[in-house]
Each structure stands twice: as C-alpha cells, then as structure tokens.
Amino acid sequence: MDEAAGDLKQALPNFNDSLQVHVEVHQKSSSTAKTENVTAHVMQLLNRHSIVFGDYTWTEFDDPLLVKNVNSVAVVDTELKLKDRKPIDLEKCNICIHVFQLNEEGPSAENLEDESEELVAANHWLLPAVDFHRLWESLIYDSEIKSNLLDYVTTTLLFSDKNVDSNLIAWNRVVLLHGIPLNNPIFTCHPLGPPGTGKTSLCKALAQKLSIRLSSRYRYGQLVEINSHSLFSKWFSESGKLVTKMFQKIHELIDDKDALVFVLIDEVESLTAARSASSAGTEPSDAIRVVNAVLTQIDHIRRYPNVVILTTSNITEKIDLAFVDRADIKQYIGPPSPAAIFNIYISCIEELMKRQIIYPRQQLLTLRDLEMIGYVENNISKLSLLLNDISRKSEGLSGRVLRKLPFLAHALFIQSPTVTVEKFLEALLLAVEKQFEERKTLMEST
C-alpha cells in the first residue's frame, strides 16, 4: 500500500471497526465456478483496494477468474448506515460477500380454475431475478426506510432460526407499506394515498435484496405476487375455494426449506374493505367468510420460518384493524422531498452521461457539497444549484413521474443524439413545468 493510502488509513474514524460491509458479486449466468472460489478471488480484489468512499462497484478486473465469471463486484448499502460518503477501511470491517446469479426466465403465472373460467391468481418469480436487478438502488427515500426494512426482516429470520418462543416475544412476519399515515385525521378528507411512490417496487426490491443477502442461508428466493382483484372479486361459492387453492400453492413453496418465500399482496385493502362492506350490509355474508379465511391463512403461513408477507395500500382508511394489528411494520411511503428528488435526478443524469447522451461528462456537486459552500454560485456550483432549483419546483410529483421526466425532457425539448448538461437541465425544467400545467388542465376538466 502506498504512503498516501497509509496516511488516509491512519486518519479514518473508529466507526470502521464495527461496521458490517456487504459486497454483492454478480456472477455471470454462464459461469460454473464454485462460490467459494469466486469469494476467495473477490477477497483478493478487496485486499488490493481496501479503502472505498461509500458504495463502489468494480466492473473491470485484472484477475482472469473474475474476468471469466463475474459481471460486477459491488460494495453496497453503506449509505444506509453512514448517511454519507465517507472513507471506509475494508480491512477493519466485517465483510460479508454474497455471490449470486440472476434468474432470467421471468415470471410464471399461477392459474386457478373456478366454475366458469381460469383466473391468473398470482405471478411467481424465482429470485434473484433479472426483472428486479438494480431496482433497490433506484428507489431513493429521505428517511431510514430501506435500512429499517432490511433490519426488520433479518431479525425475524434470525429469531426463527434461533427458535425464539413466539409466545413470549411476538412477531408476525407481516409488513404493511401505506400511502397515508395511519389514524390521521385527514382521512376524512383525503382517504386516497399518493400512487407512484414506490410501495410495490420497494416490496419487490426488498425480496430481491434479501434473497441475495441471505443466499448462504437459503439457496434461492421465491416471490408470489397475489392478484387481489382476480382472487377476491367473486364472493359467491367458488371464491372460498379459490382462496384455499391459492394458499395451498404457497404452502408447497414454503415446504421447501431451502427457499426464502415472499408473499406480496398489493392493494391489501381489497381484502379488508370487502369485510367492512359486508358488516355494513352492502355485501353478502359470504364476503366476510372469505376475508376471514384469508386472514386465517395468513396467520398460518406466517408461522413458518422461511416466509415473509409484504403488503401495500393506498386507501388506508379501509384497511381492517384486524389486519393492521398483524403487521409488525407499518411504514408510510410518501412523495419524495426536494432532497430525494435531487438525488433521483442525479442518478438519471449519471446514467445519461454513462450512455453519452449527455456529453461531455461534468461532475455535479452533491447537496452536502452545496451546503458546505453555503449555496454560493460560481462556475463550479452553477449547474448543481440549477438542478437544486428544479428539484424544489418538482416537489409534489411522484417517484414514478420523476423517473419519466428525463426521457420527456429529451423527447420534447432536445431530440438530438447528444446534449450538454446545461442544455439538458434547461429542458428538464421545461418538462417539469409542462407536467404541472398538464396536471392543472386535468384538474380543471374534472
């Protein structure tokens, strides 16, 4: 190690001593190399590059085994713990290496038959799946949402592995991501939470991340996304049988102890709202029996050590309290703040620079950099301050819309193979203004 690196190591703070660092190794789908061999060569790579600044990814190697067998080696999720890019001495950290290959087959449909037709009751993925590759990294939040969810599921699986008595210490393996804070008085005026905030994507990304993170414990992951509207839209006779058949299929997956199974129920209020309607006399009594059966099935499968139930809701006021009580984590997912929007835009601009659509490459300052210079405008900070202004003007837009805006900016206001950062930011501002104009027009017409 050279003298400069040695000086830096001496200056590193003590937090490295207890820091657990996760390294994800994306093994090529064509590779037949053994995990232990890949891990050994990755350790050699890390020993040669022992100081990193936050998350870092290698895609080029001088080691023939890595060249042949590995797409990337990534130090990941350090910002979830450190909250900032800081120098990390890997030699002083507890390094966990996770080697994985992506399943490229895509989802399969779980079909169920009732008296008249065949219903697509669920989509089923083997994890980790190419469909969700880098989805986790694309989701940007202000608070510790991602870190808390990782820690929660990791703890539930640890407690199960250690046979902690659930009668003494209770946990239910149920996560609820919702769009409006529970028990909020604004329910009466605004019962619908904001769509497009990434609740469903976060569930899928969490399942993918944990399938990689726990690959030494489980050989593979399974994600079953239940189609609530198909499964619970029919309340007479066959509906109860459909629910039973669906959960029988889930039981078959859970019985494989080498599999980590995630059950995703999107728009979970479609279950519990029916029971509320039934109680009010607007639905037949079969509805309440079916929903009770669903809750009973959830109660049963959550006792298994290798299953996690992930749910989302936008209509929070309609979630049955019996279900809410079952959720260990009830996490609010709202629209991104200006700071999160800034980071979303930065990630989009970096991708366009990588593809040389934005050219030449220019380094933009982070929000922390801008704060350190007191937001003073100069030749270095000018473009970053413009992006910060655009981010503030974008407040109120969902993450789903924000990810589309760089495309719309190019399509509507650029339309050339390459563009400078400055011209792109001007186009992005126009795209943001157009988005709010269109929203205003739609509201006035309704």
Q: How far is CA 82 from the centre of its chain?
A: 19
Pairing state of beta strands 94-100 and 20-27? parallel
Both tokens of 318, joined, read: 């309609």
Please, what is the Cα angle at 262 between 261 and 263, to 5 degrees? 120
Q: Report d(CA 407, CA 410) in Å as an integer.
A: 5
What pLDDT shows up at residue 39? 98
Per-domain boundaries in the chain: 14-100, 108-332, 338-445
Q: What is the mean pLDDT of each run of 10 residues along the chain (446 residues)?
A: 50 57 97 98 96 92 98 91 75 95 94 70 95 95 86 87 88 88 43 68 97 93 87 58 83 94 88 58 60 82 90 79 86 91 96 97 94 96 98 94 97 96 98 96 83
Q: Report d(CA 55, CA 334) in Å as an integer.
A: 25
User: Dihedrals φ, ψ of 254, to 5°?
Assistant: -65, -30
Closest residue by Cα to residue 174 from 333, 324, 334: 324
Q: Report d(CA 258, CA 217) in Å as an integer.
A: 8
What pLDDT shows up at residue 269? 79
What is the 3-state composition of the chain as percent helix, strand, coil, each rounded to the nearest 5? 50, 20, 35
Closest residue by Cα to residue 86 from 98, 97, 75: 75
Both tokens of 358, joined, read: 């934005």
Q: Report d(CA 349, CA 388) in Å as an integer.
A: 13
Q: What is the pLDDT of residues 157-183, one digit of tens each?
A: 888 888 899 889 988 889 999 986 655
Q: How many CB atoms lie within 10 A of CB 315?
A: 19
What pLDDT shows up at residue 47? 95
> Under CATH, to which class is 108-332 assigned?
alpha beta
Q: What is the pLDDT of residues 81-137, one digit of tens each?
A: 666 667 899 999 999 999 999 999 999 998 876 656 677 889 999 999 999 999 999
Closest residue by Cα to residue 279 from 265, 289, 269: 289
- Neighbouring-strand partners of residue 222: 126, 261
Pairing state of beta strands 329-332 and 307-313? unpaired
